[in-house]
């Protein structure tokens, strides 16, 4: 097995993971891709199913004794030990290894870490001169485009999809799952990355921008979080003409964090309660929260950058 770093953990994997920086040391997590097929597993009683708006199930969770099982229909099943340290994957016939890597890195591991350690937000993050800011939102809402566009402007992109938050300290700290980002072709073309991007999975047209191992070796440690920008659903803001930044506080901020947090077992009341406390603590910290609405026009990203930088450097009132 080779050793890699994800978040602030050491992962040992039998499957090569070129997306991750290499790291030695004792394993916090282990991953095994077994030859047994997912189609041989018995169907359990699902505790929760995640669905698309059309009702299609994209992910299901079950408890099997003290263990967890995550199932991605027609793709793969992941068996997770009771302590969250051991992961076994059984894939369906014909599923590419790139798809298994994507599911592991961008779905399974963020949910495991969010359940067994600290909350993981569905967010990208960049380091500005004033500190780290995060962009929170669903897939397709612009997190990766904003992150990579800031990097093109000379800032540091920390990660584009999963952000581990430790709200115990003051100020709170964050660390991204891994460097790099995943974008659609229109954003890759607009940002000049189309030629270098790699396949994410066999079932998605998104592509991945991966730093060199040398760049990954300089990947930052946990850093202080200064501000979180809550993105709007672009399908509900098609007529947006101006860049708008509005402060958010209290319950509204907490509920936005809960909505955009990775979950493993939503029926685990103890963990859900402790996660709510963690996110409430983040909102009550020095970190500031804003709603960000802007025109979805790559030619106007410089205006969005200016508004974000201005909000980030404005002292809290």
Q: What is the pLDDT of residues 257-283, one digit of tens each?
A: 999 999 999 999 999 999 999 999 999
229 vs 179, higher pLDDT: 229
Distances (CA, A) of 52 to 49, 84, 174: 10, 27, 29
The ranges assigned to domains in the chain are 2-116, 120-313
- What's the pLDDT score for residue 201? 75
What was the pLDDT predicted at 42? 80
Q: Give the tokens for residue 132.
A: 């780290």
Residue 118 pLDDT > 70: yes
In this prediction, residue 130 carries a pLDDT of 86
Burial 108-127 (b: 16+ CB within 10 A, else e): bbbbbbbbeebbbbbbbbbb
In words, the CATH class of domain 120-313 is alpha beta
**Tokens representing residue 15 in the block:** 């499957």
Quick one: pLDDT band at residue 199, thresholds 50, 70, 90?
Answer: low
Over residues 236-256, the pLDDT tens digits come to 766 778 999 999 999 999 999
Cα 142-310-167 angle, rounded to 5 deg: 70
Asked whether residue 160 carries a pLDDT value surpassing 70, the answer given is yes
In 3D, which of 155, 156, 177, 174 has the Cα closest to residue 165?
A: 174
Query: pLDDT tens digit string along 28-47?
Result: 999 999 877 767 778 889 99
pLDDT at residue 292 in the model: 94
At residue 299, does pLDDT exceed 80?
A: yes
- The per-residue pLDDT for 213 is 54
The residue whose two tokens read 């200016």 is 306
Percent of the chain with pLDDT over 70: 88
pLDDT band at 156 (very low <50, low <70, confident <90, very high): confident
Where residue 2 falls among pLDDT bands split at 50, 70, 90? very high
| pLDDT grade for 126, boundaries at 50, 70 and 90 | very high
pLDDT of residue 304: 93
Q: How confident is the model at residue 22 (pLDDT cuts 50, 70, 90)?
A: confident
218 pLDDT band (50/70/90 cuts)? low
13 burial class (0-12, 13-18, 19+ CB within 10 angstroms)? buried
What's the confidence (pLDDT) of residue 220?
A: 62
Mean of pLDDT values over 277-305: 92
Looking at the DSSP bridge assignments, the partners of residue 123 are 136
Residue 288 is predicted with a pLDDT of 93
pLDDT at 12: 97
């Amino acid at each position: 097995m080779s050793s890699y770093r994800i978040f602030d953990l050491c992962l040992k994997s039998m499957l090569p993971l070129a997306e991750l920086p290499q790291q030695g040391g004792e394993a916090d997590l282990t991953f095994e891709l077994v030859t047994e097929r997912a189609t041989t597993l018995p169907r359990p009683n699902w505790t929760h199913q995640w669905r698309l708006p059309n009702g299609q199930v994209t992910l299901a969770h079950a408890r099997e004794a003290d263990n967890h099982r995550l199932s991605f229909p027609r793709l793969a099943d992941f068996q997770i030990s009771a302590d969250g340290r051991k992961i076994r994957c059984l894939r369906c016939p014909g599923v590419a290894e790139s798809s298994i890597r994507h599911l592991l890195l961008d779905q399974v591991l963020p949910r495991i870490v969010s359940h067994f350690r600290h909350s993981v937000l569905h967010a990208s993050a960049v380091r500005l001169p004033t500190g780290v800011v995060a962009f929170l939102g669903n897939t397709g809402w612009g997190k990766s485009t904003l992150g990579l566009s800031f990097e093109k402007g000379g800032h540091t992109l920390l990660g584009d999809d999963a952000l581990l938050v430790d709200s115990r300290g003051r100020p709170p700290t964050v660390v991204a799952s891994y460097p790099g980002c995943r974008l659609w072709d229109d954003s890759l073309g607009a940002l000049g990355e189309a030629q270098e991007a790699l396949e994410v999975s066999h079932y998605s047209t998104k592509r991945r921008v991966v730093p060199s191992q040398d760049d990954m070796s300089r990947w930052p440690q946990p850093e202080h979080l200064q501000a979180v920008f809550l993105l709007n659903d672009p399908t509900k803001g098609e007529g947006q003409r101006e860049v708008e930044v509005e402060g958010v506080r209290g319950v509204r901020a907490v509920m936005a964090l809960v909505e955009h947090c990775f979950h493993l077992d939503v029926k685990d009341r103890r963990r859900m309660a402790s996660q709510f406390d963690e996110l409430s603590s983040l909102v009550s910290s020095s970190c500031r929260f804003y709603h960000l609405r802007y025109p979805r026009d790559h030619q106007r990203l410089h205006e969005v950058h200016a508004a974000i930088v201005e909000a980030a450097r404005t002292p809290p009132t």
